[in-house]
């Protein structure tokens, strides 16, 4: 399957292991990635807070670039990109008049956004396009007995109407289904659909880090070996900032946080190093036996 | 007419004055599937246990009295149908709890005064008019100028958004979604004379508008489509962009720095965003004392990230950027949009969607109240 691939900013900035892991698992999933390397930042909700039309136009440009490729759909690997882009797309698709105005701005470089583009996070794509049966069949090293806590990120679970979450497409349960398909054990905990706090880390660091620390603590109390997230911004607060979050909540946590493609990659037989797991701030020693580069839970 | 069928309700019971711990009580009621959770609770109260406490009045989603959590989600007991709640109940039993973020008085009744109303009072929830004494005649406003506030005015003060606000859960002092939406209702009212003061107050408060994490919980919680988070974003837009309020919480600087970096590079550059959010929106921002303090305190984290190869030195210093040609296009988009005489904002709550509009995420829209 060929997809127009939007990696986002953070996966090429402070979480390069995510972009790298995605590139590694793509061929194993028979995914051909056409990278949208000319597209701009989705705005992460901040640009639309500043000026809605600006965020809508920048994302319309991204959608138009995706529509120029021969990809079947557009794929992203960031909950925040998914949410921010879906919000813009909702407005663009709601009004022909507004769309025409935005397209007028894009006309300068010969681009036009037409309705009908499908934009899916890797998580949605795994379940809805590739399918869990196919994924299960591709597993070479099942995550047996590995206890994995899902962490979704706000932008991919709310608002439910905009994101198309309903009884037919329970997208707010997909992480659990993927973990199961990979052979892991799902650990549900109170904070799994809550906010990591990242958006206010510069405005109110204590509240921000308290959120990250509490959810990680909840996961630990539920005996998770690690947490997995489809959102690199959550990863920044949960992994990069975990030492600071530990200080705010006053407890040691040491919870490894994996990007979704890393967890998939481990089950598909890739080595932790290929997936960039050594780059995390919290070493995933509980997940990976470093001496043999085999998922510890599998045993010998 | 549908026949009554059996539904089992699992109610959270608690009487703080009894000294006993909270407990769950299950009651099986019989009602038509289209009837409400409130109807179910009232039947349980009438048939099985008169001591069940719940607040209610209009039973028509107008008075805002019966806010509860149903299967873990906030909403009104009176406008949630039994059949819909049953569909969302994992084990076939409909679970009803009191709202969160507020102390329980008894069973499903929470202390709205202690949290919700206190926060509403904090935002001066009335019109501050110009005149001293009685005006000579009524204040006439242009109809169009009031359309913008109708969404915020739809609030019925039920507290559902307050119940599940994730920022308030971590910071009980946060002004919260309901009060912020109420504040916007007056900030955007052309008759109010204290708009700048209201905005400065909420921007400078460390628990004000910049304490919202943008988690969308209040948007899903609200039974009336108020979308409190969107009203908070409007408050920020007015504070930072219309009034240029540079707050002590780095809210304005963060937004300005974000926009400048995307304009210059096409992509975000996290290593520049942080210092600029603290020290000011220029390359020199990192040398500002405020930025210096923060950078120093985050040095252990940054060093670790560099050592692990998580953040590559080249990315930390130079950052990623789009090719020159694309940067030029992005800058032209900024120039065009920001050069408009008025900022454009499409509020789907007010405008609805075109009849042929295909919904985002590949799903057709469901009527005009798309939030």
Task: Give the minimum alpha-carbon distance from A174 to chain B in angstroms, rounded to a whole number.
Answer: 16
Q: Among residues B169, B159, B27, B32, which one has the least CA distance to residue B96?
A: B27
pLDDT score of B137: 84
Across chain A, the runs of DSSP E, i.e. the strands, are 2-6, 32-35, 73-76, 119-121, 147-150, 185-186, 226-229, 257-259, 288-289, 294-295
Give the rounded distance of the alpha carbon of B205 from its chain centre. Answer: 17
**Exposure string over B338-361, b if 16+ CB within 10 A, otherwise e:** eeeeebebbbbbebbbbeebbbbb
Q: Across the interface, do B215 and A154 touch by the CB < 8 Å criterion?
A: yes
pLDDT tens figures, B1-30: 689 999 999 999 999 999 999 999 999 999
- Look up tokens 């659909």; give the residue: A193
The neighbour count for residue B39, using CB atoms within 10 Å, is: 18
Tokens linked to A185: 């054990």
Report chain B residues whose CB lies below 8 A from the CB of A200: 167, 210-213
> Measured between CB atoms, which of B256, B308, B315 is closest to A278?
B308
Task: Write out residues in chain A with pLDDT < 50, as ranges.
Answer: 290-294, 296-300
> Measured between CB atoms, which of A155, A162, A207 is closest to B167?
A207
pLDDT score of B354: 87
How many Cα atoms are found within 13 Å in the side-chain-facing hemisphere of B166? 33
Q: Across the interface, do B237 and A49 touch by the CB < 8 Å criterion?
A: yes
- Look up tokens 């209201």; give the residue: B198
Report chain A residues whose CB lies below 8 A from the CB of B334: 54
Q: Where are the alpha helices (DSSP H) in A193-295?
A: 205-221, 232-235, 242-249, 260-267
Report chain B residues whose CB lies below 8 A from the CB of A84: none
pLDDT score of A285: 82
pLDDT score of A289: 61
Task: Write out residues in chain B with pLDDT < 70, as ranges.
Answer: 1, 295-296, 299, 356-371
DSSP A39: P
pLDDT score of B356: 62
pTM of the model: 0.93
How many Cα atoms are found within 13 Å in the side-chain-facing hemisphere of B118? 11
Residue of A nearest to B217 (CA): A158
pLDDT tens figures, B160-172: 999 999 999 999 9
Domains of chain B by start residue, with CATH: 5-110 (3.10.20.30), 116-245 (1.10.1060.10), 251-338 (no CATH)
> Measured between CB atoms, which of B240, B251, B348 is closest to A203?
B251
- Look up tokens 């600006």; give the residue: A54
Tell me how far apart the alpha carbons of residues B98 and B66 are, in angstroms, rounded to a whole number.
10
């Amino acid at each position: 399957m060929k997809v127009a691939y939007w990696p986002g900013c953070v996966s090429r900035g402070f979480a390069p292991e995510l972009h790298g892991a995605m590139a590694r698992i793509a061929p194993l999933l028979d995914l051909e990635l056409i990278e949208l390397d000319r597209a701009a930042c989705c705005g992460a909700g901040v640009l639309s807070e500043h000026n809605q039309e600006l965020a809508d136009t920048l994302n319309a440009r991204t959608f138009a670039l995706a529509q120029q490729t021969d990809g079947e759909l557009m794929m992203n690997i960031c909950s925040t990109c998914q949410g921010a882009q879906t919000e813009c797309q909702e407005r663009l698709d709601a009004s022909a008049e507004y769309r025409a105005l935005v397209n007028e701005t894009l006309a300068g470089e010969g681009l036009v956004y037409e309705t009908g583009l499908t934009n899916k996070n890797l998580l949605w794509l795994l379940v809805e396009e590739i399918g869990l049966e196919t994924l299960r069949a591709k597993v070479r090293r099942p995550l047996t007995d590995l206890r994995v806590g899902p962490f979704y990120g706000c932008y991919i679970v709310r608002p439910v109407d905009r994101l198309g979450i309903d009884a037919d497409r329970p997208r707010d349960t997909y992480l659990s289904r993927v973990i199961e398909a990979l052979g892991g054990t799902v650990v549900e905990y109170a904070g799994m659909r809550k906010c990591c706090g990242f958006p206010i880390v510069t405005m109110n660091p204590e509240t921000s880090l308290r959120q990250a620390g509490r959810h990680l603590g909840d996961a630990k109390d539920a005996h998770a070996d690690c947490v997995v997230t489809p959102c690199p911004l959550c990863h920044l607060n949960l992994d990069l900032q975990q030492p600071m979050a530990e200080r705010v909540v006053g407890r040691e946590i040491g919870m490894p946080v994996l990007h979704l493609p890393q967890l998939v990659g481990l089950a598909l037989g890739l080595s932790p190093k290929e997936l960039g797991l050594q780059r995390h701030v919290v070493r995933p020693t509980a997940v990976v036996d470093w001496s043999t580069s085999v998922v510890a839970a599998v045993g010998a | 007419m549908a026949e009554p069928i059996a539904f089992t309700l699992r109610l959270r019971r608690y009487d703080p004055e009894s000294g006993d711990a909270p407990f769950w009580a299950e009651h099986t009621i019989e009602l038509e599937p289209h009837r409400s959770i409130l109807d179910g609770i009232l039947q349980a109260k009438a048939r099985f246990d008169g001591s069940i406490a719940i607040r209610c009045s209009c039973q028509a989603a107008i008075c805002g009295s019966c806010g509860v959590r149903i299967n873990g989600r906030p909403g009104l007991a009176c406008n949630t149908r039994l059949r819909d709640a049953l569909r969302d109940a994992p084990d076939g039993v409909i679970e009803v709890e009191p709202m969160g973020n507020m102390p329980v008085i008894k069973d499903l009744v929470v202390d709205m005064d202690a949290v919700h109303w206190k926060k509403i009072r904090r935002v001066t929830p009335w019109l501050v008019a110009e005149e001293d004494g009685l005006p000579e005649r009524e204040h006439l406003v242009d109809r169009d100028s009031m359309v913008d506030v109708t969404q915020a005015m739809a609030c019925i003060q039920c507290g559902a958004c307050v119940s599940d606000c994730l920022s308030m859960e971590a910071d009980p002092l946060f002004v919260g979604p309901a009060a912020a939406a109420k504040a916007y209702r007056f900030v955007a009212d052309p008759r109010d004379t204290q708009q700048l003061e209201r905005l400065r107050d909420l921007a400078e408060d460390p628990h004000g508008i910049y304490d919202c994490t943008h988690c969308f919980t209040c948007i899903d919680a609200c039974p009336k489509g108020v979308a409190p988070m969107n009203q908070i974003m409007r408050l920020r837009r007015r504070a930072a962009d219309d009034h240029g309020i540079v707050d002590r919480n780095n809210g304005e600087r963060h937004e300005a720095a974000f926009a400048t970096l995307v304009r210059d590079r096409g992509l975000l550059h996290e290593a520049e965003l942080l210092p600029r959010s603290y020290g000011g929106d220029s390359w020199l921002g990192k040398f500002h004392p405020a930025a210096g303090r923060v950078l120093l305190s985050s040095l252990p984290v940054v060093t670790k990230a560099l050592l692990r190869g998580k953040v590559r030195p080249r990315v930390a210093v130079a950052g990623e950027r789009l090719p020159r040609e694309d940067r030029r296009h992005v800058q032209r988009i900024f120039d065009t949009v920001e050069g408009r005489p008025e900022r454009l904002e499409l509020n789907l709550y007010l405008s609805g969607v075109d009849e042929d509009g295909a919904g985002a995420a590949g799903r057709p829209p469901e009527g005009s109240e798309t939030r």
